[in-house]
Amino acid sequence: MVWTVTLIPEAEAELLSMPADIRARFLRIADLLESFGPNNVGMPHVRHLDGRLWEMRMKGRDGIARAVYVARTGKQLVVLHVFVKKTQKTPRRALTTARARLERLPDD
């Protein structure tokens, strides 16, 4: 089962602005998802958020970040939004941003 993890341009820019240890953790989790598939990777790496949205959970010396992604046809995982997490609950604004970007994606 081979999956691919891709980032939309906005999410790629957000990821590149993160500290190096957070980016490294993102790459590790993306590798796990590509190797084993999203159904075989769970906590503490990924968690379901709402509807079709899932999150990659990155933690490093420089803080905590999340990458919100969605599964698409063709075994694709598309990262919609990457952000620094400052509160215990995922901010509503982050979910709103991810949903808006999901709406702009071409249909599966």
Looking at domain 4-104, what is its CATH homologous superfamily? Answer: RelE-like (3.30.2310.20)
Mean pLDDT, rounded, for 88-98: 90
Q: Which three-class secondary structure state does DSSP give residue 9? A: helix
Can you give the residue ranges of every domain in the chain?
4-104
The residue assigned the tokens 């694709």 is: 76
pTM of the shown model: 0.91
Query: Which pLDDT belongs to residue 62?
Result: 79
Query: Which pLDDT belongs to residue 2?
Result: 87
Q: How many helices (H) and strands (E) does the chain have?
A: 3, 5
Query: Which pLDDT belongs to residue 81?
Result: 96
Convert the pLDDT of each residue in 21-62 to its tens digit: 999 999 999 999 999 988 899 899 999 998 999 999 999 887
33 contacts 47 by C-beta, under 8 angstroms: no
